[in-house]
Amino acid sequence: MKRHGILNSHISKVLSDLGHTDIIVISDIGLPVPDGVPKIDLALKPGTPGFREVVELVAEDMVIEKIILAKEIRDENPEVMQFMTEKFGNDTVDASISHEQFKALTRDAKAVIRTGEATPYANCILQAGVHFG
């Protein structure tokens, strides 16, 4: 039995299998999941688990080189935008594409992790980096 890190076996497996530049998505309850992309559904009820909690736990286990957000998050969910930039820095977080472009990128994801988050545009694409050492 695993002692540390993410205990969810599906998430743990996806993170272990990621290569450099592979992407995963952490989503709110409303983001559509493209056909053929595995969905790991953690949603229990609206708000549980929350987007921030899941992002923080995944970030502990994943080397992240880039994070993509939809630009609509700036106006529609400034609290989550602030959380992401404070946690990861402006050099890592890119919020320059539309929500429609964001959804198109999710087709290439290795998995979508669906949270119970019920606030607008609380979705991110995490691009894997490389850990040497």
Given this model, what pLDDT does residue 133 score?
60
Set 4, 10, 20, 131: catalytic member: 20
Given this model, what pLDDT does residue 132 score?
77
Query: Is 57:6 a contact under the CB 8 Å cutoff?
Result: yes
* Global confidence as pTM: 0.96
42 is a domain residue = yes
- The CATH number for 61's domain is 3.40.1650.10
Given this model, what pLDDT does residue 4 score?
82
Query: Is 69:102 a contact under the CB 8 Å cutoff?
Result: yes
Q: Please, is 36 exposed, middle or buried when counting C-beta atoms within 10 Å of its C-beta (0-12, 13-18, 19+)?
A: exposed
Whole domain around residue 45: which residue ranges? 9-128
Q: Which residues are annotated as a binding site for substrate?
A: 28, 99, 121-123
34 is a domain residue = yes
The answer to whether 20 is a known catalytic residue is: yes
Which of the pair, 5 or 125, is modelled with greater confidence? 125
16 is a domain residue = yes
How many structural domains are present in the chain?
Answer: 1
For the chain, the average pLDDT equals 96
Which pair of tokens denotes residue 82? Answer: 């602030």
